[in-house]
Chain A
């Protein structure tokens, strides 16, 4: 077949083989996941019935009908649903049965071709990464739709789209938790992390591959719990789930607690996997000083996750017990409602750094590749990542300055302001990497730059919030909403999109459309500024958070924000269509279109089975612009190959 060479933004690409749609139309491609969904539903009703029968046996009442939707029945049903979902998805044949019989044939995917390998429980980290990325894109669109509905309602001072204030409250609560735990916590770590980090470490697998394979499976079911919570009453307590309001605002709160705890477990597992892989799975020659900086970013985030997820998962579960078991941890009378906030924020502040630490590290990777320069002051950048991770542990109180006593206000103000110093190291490193370079403005580079500028604004508005006198005015106003959207979207989400463009050629083997990439990036960037900058002004003008109706003097700025937000939402669809179309019909990507030197770009594209027959041994610096890939990594045969060749059997295997 003659290959037609064309010019793709200065690179030479070939025409790719045509897209084969037939595997996507076969039912057996989707089989394990469909079975998982079925078993989850069966599990839910089975669990709810069992609980209802037990309660009927002890307490009386009507076992048919409404007793299976009491909070306790839903909780038990949910646990059974999770078990059913795992088993159906392949944990039964892939983990339980091998644990008993030793038959690991489920994991031999060499006979499975095409997309079927994505729809099953699998220990392959690349497969996990694709599942995470696609699921995150789906979650983002759903939660983003909720955000669009919120902005439609806020076009007018009166209730507009929603039938009641309670439904509005339910929607913003769900939007928050779905975005934070379903998108931000797992987008870069689950997506780019699982793809790039084991490859960058030169290892064939992560540590604990079965646990790693399981981590994605927590996400969809937790997400569904949140999404389906309006069916059982919704929850109005915001994404933080604060008591005592949580007890009195809808029985959907039970599903919030369960769903949030489940999604947190996913993050916890990711933390475990990356910490252990970083320590134990580095290949030969990969000393700590040679480890690529993206791995350091993921590592810093993973340490935070590993240590601190229980700080938040525990109060969420205590919340659940308040609702289903009858404890009184956080009620208004005879309990400690403030304790929930203290415990909750001890994870959730480090959690926001979990979102951005991999993003900062990815800025430096991408900037280094596209500017032709090494990462400037790399050791300072690594120190910055670690320092931010450490300092972020002790700043949680800044989320509730107005509720604590003056001594705490002063102390945590000091610590919070200090975190800006190591954050500055990332900007030092980024500026130094770009300064004097030869910048090629491919879409990932452009989006990284937009991300850096946007996060800078978000970071500086954080200084306002960390300063207690200013915080007294701004706490819980739209200023805060502007601040965290600037930092999370600017820091995490823009970088996630840059990572999508950056890794697209390696993951799909095709090139996306560079023109539409630039169009999408600019529309997204400009619309973003017009959406969220007015919120800073609205905060000072007296608009507080979480209100479905507001006073008419605030309408003008709200309209600006709303209309810009519709444009922002539309821009994501441009990216989505770009990716879907290009994945099917784009031109064939070269093996290493950007010229990166890390190992993730030195393996062939779209290889899922049997890569790493040879072992990479690192002999040079990944960031040396003049080095060729063969100077940095040598591929050697593993011992058993060389033994075969010489005919020796060696000693113990």
Chain B
């Protein structure tokens, strides 16, 4: 077999090996990795980020296997014993097809990624801003400081609490700012975050779609250095609450950065109203919120 035939046969072998790896891998990715491990499920916006990540995993894993297999096979196929330099035979022409083809494929994949999940995902998230504006979101005002959070629900007269309670299926308009250094407001289960910038107010929208109780296992259950307070606390740590449903500061803010966290809960509307009335600091200042809904 001459050189040209040998190289074509090698290309075919690479494609076959890649297919053997890629097909089971895609099933594994669908079922195991994404079905079981992907934790971002709690907001409609998070569904966007989760779908973006899912699509990217599938495509990039496929391309990775193709490129890595070609690279490794190409290197190993022509392996000779180590020794002095030996020039290889090579064809001096007809590689333009591969080069232009590679370029075209990469530009195409790049274009696809920009449109989906890039712009399409962004438009979907922004749409939830615009679409929900007319539907009277619940205003949540979050002020970060070193090293804690102060959450207020002005429509309900609740100010300065350390809890994030959100009613399910209602969009929350979350305003975030900082009193001192940069912080970042992140609930891992919600699937996205927003930076708290000193001197600026930023807004994000969260529409919870699933009920859940969060835990941050902060003070109370832990000693200051992070060890569990007692055996009961240790036993309860892992059972009560979803650790991903917590507000976590996500920007390096100094000494208290790791412990600047508290639980987030998604509850029914009724539970939320009862809680708000119980936590209300300023009664009737604006209203009890009922006439907004």
Asked if B256 and A165 sit within 8 Å, CB to CB, the answer is: yes
Asked if B182 and A434 sit within 8 Å, CB to CB, the answer is no
The stretch that binds A, out of B18-26, B52-60, B271-279, is B52-60
Residues in B with CB closer than 8 Å to A453 are 68, 71-72
Which of A371, A402, A420 sits near B88, CB closer than 8 Å? A371
Among listed A137-145, A306-314, A407-415, interface-contacting one: A407-415
- Given contacts A10-B84, A420-B106, whether A467 and B99 have CB atoms under 8 Å apart is no
A544 adjacent to B248 (CB under 8 Å): yes
Assess the B56–A476 pair: CB atoms within 8 A: no
Closest to A250 in B: B254
Instruction: Tell whether, in the assembled complex, residue B195 and residue A402 are in contact, meaning their CB atoms are under 8 Å apart.
Output: yes
In the assembled complex, the Cα of A541 lies from the Cα of B37 at a distance in Å of 8
Query: Which residues between 219 and 255 of chain A lie within 8 Å of chain B, taking CB atoms?
Result: 236-238, 242, 244-245, 248-249
Contact with A337, one of B90, B122, B186, B197 (Cβ below 8 angstroms): B197
A400–B254 contact, CB under 8 A?
A: no
The segment from A42-50, A191-199, A456-464, A496-504 that touches chain B is: A456-464
Q: Is A181 an interface residue (CB 8 A)?
A: no
Q: Contacts A332-B199, A470-B117, A594-B85 given: A476-B251 contact, CB under 8 Å?
A: yes
Is B290 in the interface zone, CB < 8 Å from A? no
**Beta-carbon contacts under 8 Å, B16-45 to A:** 37-40
Q: Quick check: is B121 within 8 A (CB to CB) of the other chain?
A: yes
Residues of A within 8 A of B3 (CB): 436
When chains A and B are docked, how far (Å) is the Cα of A158 from the Cα of B222? 10
Contacting pair B75 A439 (CB below 8 A): yes
Contact digits for B109-138, partner A, Cβ 8 Å, 1 yes 0 no: 010011001110110111000000000000
Give the distance to chain A from B89, nearest Cβ to Cβ, in Å: 7
> How far is the CB of B122 from the nearest CB of chain A, in Å?
6
Nearest-CB residue, chain B, relative to A332: B198
Q: Which residues of A contact B188 (CB under 8 A)?
A: 473, 541-542
Instruction: Across the interface, name the chain A residue whose C-beta is closest to B227.
Output: A158
**What's the Cα separation between A329 and B256 when bound, in Å?**
25
**B64 and A456 form a contact (CB under 8 A):** yes
Residue of A nearest to B68 (CB): A453
A523 → chain B, closest Cβ, in Å?
Answer: 19
Let me know if A552 and B71 touch, CB within 8 A.
no
A24 within 8 A of B: no
Tell me whether B71 and A449 are in contact (CB under 8 A).
yes
- Chain A residues lying within 8 Å of B180, measured Cβ to Cβ, are 244, 248, 332
Q: Which residues of A contact B216 (CB under 8 A)?
A: 551
- Contact status A464-B75, CB under 8 Å: no
The verdict on B74 contacting chain A, using a C-beta distance below 8 Å, is yes
Contact call B10/A435, Cβ cutoff below 8 A: yes
- Are the CB atoms of B255 and A169 closer together than 8 Å? yes
Report whether A427 and B71 are in contact in the complex, using a CB–CB cutoff of 8 Å: yes
- CB of B52 within 8 A of CB of A469, answer yes
Q: Tell me the complex Cα distance, A467–B125, Å.
A: 13
Please state if A372 and B83 are interface contacts (CB–CB under 8 Å).
Answer: no
C-alpha gap A542/B178 in the complex (Å): 22
B118 touches A436 (CB 8 A): no
Q: Does A620 contact B (CB under 8 A)?
A: no
Known A371-B88, A438-B78, A542-B248; contact A551-B243, beta-carbon cutoff 8 A: yes
Question: A361-378 vs B: 1/0 string, CB under 8 Å?
Answer: 000000001011110110
Q: Tell me whether A439 and B78 are in contact in the complex, defined as CB-CB below 8 angstroms, given that A245-B253, A472-B49, A472-B193 are known contacts.
A: yes
Residues of A within 8 A of B81 (CB): 10, 440
Contacts of B248 in A (CB 8 A): 542, 544
Most buried by A among B75, B118, B227, B256: B75
B250 within 8 A of A: yes
A540 with B38: CB separation less than 8 A = yes
A337 to B181, CA, bound (A): 9
Task: Evaluate whether A244 and B181 lie within 8 angstroms (CB atoms) in the complex, with A238-B252, A467-B118 already known.
Answer: yes
Q: Smallest Cβ distance from B15 to chain A, in angstroms?
A: 14
Contact A438 B88 (CB under 8 A): yes
Residues 503-537 of A, flagged 1 when their CB comes within 8 A of B and 0 if not, give: 00000000000100000000000000000000001
A639-650 toward B: CB 8 Å interface, digit per residue (1/0)?
000000000000
A108 is an interface residue with CB less than 8 A from chain B? no
- Those of B181-207 within 8 Å (CB) of chain A: 181-182, 184, 186, 188-189, 191-195, 197-200, 202
Q: How far is the CA of A626 from the CA of B227 in the complex (A)?
A: 68
* B76 interface contact, C-beta 8 A: yes
A376 surroundings in chain B (CB, below 8 A):
95
Cβ of A442 and Cβ of B82 under 8 Å apart? yes
| Least Cβ–Cβ distance between A338 and chain B, in angstroms | 6
Chain B residues, Cβ within 8 Å of A237: 252
In the bound complex, residues from chain A placing their C-beta under 8 Å from that of B53 are: 464, 470, 473-474, 540
B82 touches A553 (CB 8 A): no
Determine if A436 and B85 form an interchain contact, defined as CB atoms under 8 angstroms apart. Answer: no
A residues 147-161 in Cβ contact with B at 8 Å = 157-159
Identify the closest chain A residue to B190 (Cβ): A473
Q: B258 within 8 Å of A by Cβ?
A: yes
A434-B78, A440-B80, A469-B118 are known contacts. Are A417 and B252 too (CB-CB below 8 A)? no
In the docked arrangement, what's the CA distance between A428 and B39, Å?
36
A465 smallest CB distance to B (angstroms):
10
Which residues of B lie under 8 Å from residue A626 when comparing CB positions?
A: 87
A571 in the interface (beta carbon within 8 A): no
Whole-angstrom distance between the alpha carbons of A406 and B67 in the complex? Answer: 34
**Which residues from chain A contact B56 at a C-beta distance below 8 Å?**
463-464, 467, 470
Q: Is B293 an interface position by the 8 A CB rule?
A: no
Q: Which of B74, B88, B122, B217 is in CB contact (< 8 Å) with A551?
A: B217
Q: Are A10 and B79 in contact (CB under 8 A)?
A: no
Task: For residue B218, give the distance in angstroms from its CB to the closest CB of chain A.
Answer: 10
Distance in angstroms from A448 CB to nearest chain B CB is 9
CA distance A545 to B193 in the complex (A): 14
Shortest CB–CB separation between residue B222 and chain A, in angstroms?
8
Could you tell me if A427 and B67 are in contact, using CB atoms closer than 8 angstroms? Answer: yes
A380 within 8 Å of B (CB atoms): yes
Answer whether residue B292 sits at the interface, using C-beta atoms and an 8 A cutoff: no
Q: Residue on B with the closest CB to A244?
A: B181
Alpha-carbon distance A547/B194, docked complex (angstroms): 18
Q: CA separation between A158 and B234, bound complex, in Å?
A: 13
> Per a CB cutoff under 8 Å, which of A9, A244, A424, A431 touches B74?
A431
Query: Does B226 lie at the interface of the complex (its beta carbon under 8 Å from any beta carbon of A)?
Result: yes
Judge if B155 is at the interface, Cβ distance under 8 Å. no
Residue of B37, B121, B237, B238 touching A540 (CB-CB under 8 A): B37
Q: A549 on the interface (CB 8 Å rule)? A: yes
A441 within 8 A of B: yes
Shortest beta-carbon distance, B60 to chain A, in Å? 4
Are A377 and B67 touching (Cβ within 8 A)?
no
Residue of chain B at shortest CB distance from A401: B195
Which B-chain residue is minimally distant from A415 (CB atoms)?
A: B114
Indicate which residue in A332, A420, A469, A549 contacts B258 across the interface (CB closer than 8 Å). A549
Chain A positions within 8 Å of B117 at CB level:
467, 469-470
Question: Closest CB of chain B to A398's CB: distance in Å?
Answer: 12
Chain A residue contacts of B182, Cβ below 8 A? 242, 244-245, 337
Separation of A236 and B228 alpha carbons in the complex (Å): 26
- A468 contacts B88, CB within 8 Å? no
**Taking the nearest CB of chain A, how far is it from the CB of B17, in angstroms?**
15
Separation of A378 and B48 alpha carbons in the complex (Å): 41
A625-B87 contact given A244-B182, A436-B78, CB 8 Å threshold: yes
Q: A468-B122, A537-B37 are in contact. List 18 more A-B contacts (CB 8 A).
A: A165-B257, A169-B254, A402-B193, A403-B197, A410-B118, A413-B119, A417-B113, A427-B71, A431-B67, A437-B78, A440-B79, A440-B82, A461-B60, A467-B113, A469-B49, A474-B53, A476-B184, A546-B257
29 intermolecular pairs with C-beta atoms under 8 Å apart:
A169-B255, A242-B182, A242-B252, A332-B179, A337-B199, A373-B88, A373-B90, A374-B90, A377-B95, A410-B118, A413-B122, A414-B118, A417-B118, A418-B110, A420-B106, A421-B103, A432-B98, A438-B88, A453-B71, A463-B56, A472-B191, A472-B192, A473-B46, A473-B193, A475-B184, A475-B193, A541-B244, A549-B259, A595-B84
